[in-house]
Amino acid sequence: MRSIHNILVTGGAGFIGSHLIQHLVTKYPNYNVVNFDKLTYAGNLENIKSVERASNYTFIKGDILDAQAVTDCMSKHNIDTVVHLAAESHVDRSIEDPNSFLTTNILGTANLLNAFRTRFENGDATLFYHISTDEVFGSLGTEGLFTETTRYDPRSPYSASKAASDHLVSAYHHTYKLPVILSNCSNNYGPNQFPEKLLPLIINNIVEQKPLPIYGDGLNVRDWLYVQDHIEAMDLLIHEAAIGENYNIGGNAEVTNIDLVKMVCNIMDTSLGRCEGESENLITYVTDRKGHDRRYAIDTTKIKTQLNWQASVSLHEGLKKTVNWYLENSDWLENVKTKEYQNYYKKQYSK
């Protein structure tokens, strides 16, 4: 078990980061947890309200593109461990506007690595953990799985920017011997996810009885992982992963988009007391995403055999928990649907 005192989490007000912050602050009261987040449209302090007053938690509003702010934050809080999640994360937005993905995801990661390197070389830092995606591996046909040695083949501006950041992290390990680890995870879902991603968007639209947009033929396949399972895997990696290693994380829950959406429709017809099939009637096939990757699927053998981790929440159970959370937190959903969101949504689906 690695020794940790002061841990910096970037992007801790976003979807996955907010679950990680809550987990670390409550499970490890002896760690000082610092959350560095710019609060873009995807960052929301409501997500981490439960820990905002905890004595071992500090929030800093800052931009990872501001190298000085990153350096100052690490030295002020005597950071020994960095878990880096801050990113522009939505593929459709990267197709509309690649540049913010290139700056935040690549240059922002470089700023963190540079600041961490100074601390490491002074003997003050021990771990840089970079969170990445399975999308860096490209698209699979009907057969096969991504392993840790699959060749990188990113195909969207988002995945290309994440691939570049992964390569920087590995390059800093090889060149400067920085103690890094890296994980590539499949599609997460659960509470606090911004309603531009497929699942929260579908849940929101079913509540509002709006069309459920399915790109292309709906037969693209994703592997889905309940966010709390990802957090458990990250906890293990933070404490036990071998330095310089990369790990794939997935839910062993492959499904086509259309089948996934139908599962949500069935769950929600029951929860909302609607007639069977009522929500499915809202399904609307729309123009496909440009360059839409066909299939992602993960081989989780490495993390299972080395660290004894596997997903514990089944897809059906996870979807029910997620739907319940969104129905019980309708205020959260209303508050994030700002003018910016309405404009984005209108632009996205008027094409």
Determine which one of 80, 135, 166, 229 is catalytic: 135
Alpha-carbon span 27 to 151, nearest angstrom: 36
Our CB check for ligand TYD shows the closer of 161 and 257 to be: 257
Instruction: Please report the sign of the dihedral spanned by the C-alpha atoms of residue 228, residue 229, residue 234, residue 236.
Output: positive
Least distance to ligand TYD from the beta carbon of 22, Å? 22
Our CB check for ligand TYD shows the closer of 126 and 220 to be: 220
Taking CB under 6 A as the criterion, which residues in 89-108 touch ligand TYD? Answer: 91
Tell whether residue 214 is a contact of ligand TYD (CB under 6 A).
yes
Tell whether residue 40 is a contact of ligand NAD (CB under 6 A).
yes
135 included as an active-site residue: yes
Alpha-carbon span 335 to 136, nearest angstrom: 32
Alpha-carbon span 44 to 59, nearest angstrom: 12
Our CB check for ligand TYD shows the closer of 266 and 348 to be: 348
Least distance to ligand TYD from the beta carbon of 222, Å? 5
- Residues 225, 251 contacting (CB under 8 angstroms): yes
Tell whether residue 250 is a contact of ligand NAD (CB under 6 A).
no
Tell whether residue 202 is a contact of ligand NAD (CB under 6 A).
no
H-assigned helices in the chain: 15-27, 67-76, 91-96, 98-101, 108-121, 157-176, 198-208, 227-240, 257-271, 301-307, 315-328, 330-336, 339-349
Orientation of helix 227-240 relative to helix 15-27, angle to 10°: 60
Our CB check for ligand TYD shows the closer of 25 and 86 to be: 86
Our CB check for ligand TYD shows the closer of 7 and 258 to be: 258
Our CB check for ligand NAD shows the closer of 85 and 323 to be: 85
Alpha-carbon span 2 to 127, nearest angstrom: 9
- Which one of the spans 59-67, 117-125, 136-144, 324-332 is the region binding ligand NAD (CB under 6 A)? 59-67
User: Can you name the residues that pair with 207 across neighbouring β-strands?
Assistant: none
DSSP type of residue 15: H
97 included as an active-site residue: no
User: Can you name the residues that pair with 8 across neighbouring β-strands?
Assistant: 34, 82
> For residue 152, what are its two tokens?
């990188």
Tell whether residue 197 is a contact of ligand TYD (CB under 6 A).
yes
Spatial CA neighbour of 206 closest among 31, 326, 40: 326
Q: Are strands 221-226 and 254-256 parallel, antiparallel or unpaired?
A: antiparallel
Q: Residue 228: CB partners within 8 Å, gap ≥ 6?
A: 19, 190, 313
Tell whether residue 187 is a contact of ligand TYD (CB under 6 A).
yes
Taking CB under 6 A as the criterion, which residues in 105-164 touch ligand NAD? Answer: 108, 131-133, 162
Least distance to ligand TYD from the beta carbon of 218, Å? 7
Spatial CA neighbour of 20 closest among 8, 30, 12: 12
Determine which one of 134, 223, 229, 293 is catalytic: 134
Tell whether residue 215 is a contact of ligand TYD (CB under 6 A).
yes
124 included as an active-site residue: no
Which residue is nearest to ligand NAD, using beta carbons?
Answer: 14
Least distance to ligand TYD from the beta carbon of 113, Å? 24
Taking CB under 6 A as the criterion, which residues in 273-332 touch ligand TYD? Answer: 289
Spatial CA neighbour of 23 closest among 112, 73, 85, 77: 85
Alpha-carbon span 323 to 13, nearest angstrom: 21
Member of 162, 222, 230, 320 binding ligand TYD (CB under 6 A): 222
Least distance to ligand TYD from the beta carbon of 295, Å? 9
- The residues that touch ligand NAD, with contacts defined as CB under 6 A, are 10-11, 13-17, 37-40, 42-43, 63-65, 85-89, 104, 108, 131-133, 162, 185, 187-188, 194
Query: Mind telling me the catalytic residues?
Result: 134-135, 158
- The residues that touch ligand TYD, with contacts defined as CB under 6 A, are 91, 187, 197-198, 201, 213-215, 220, 222, 257, 289
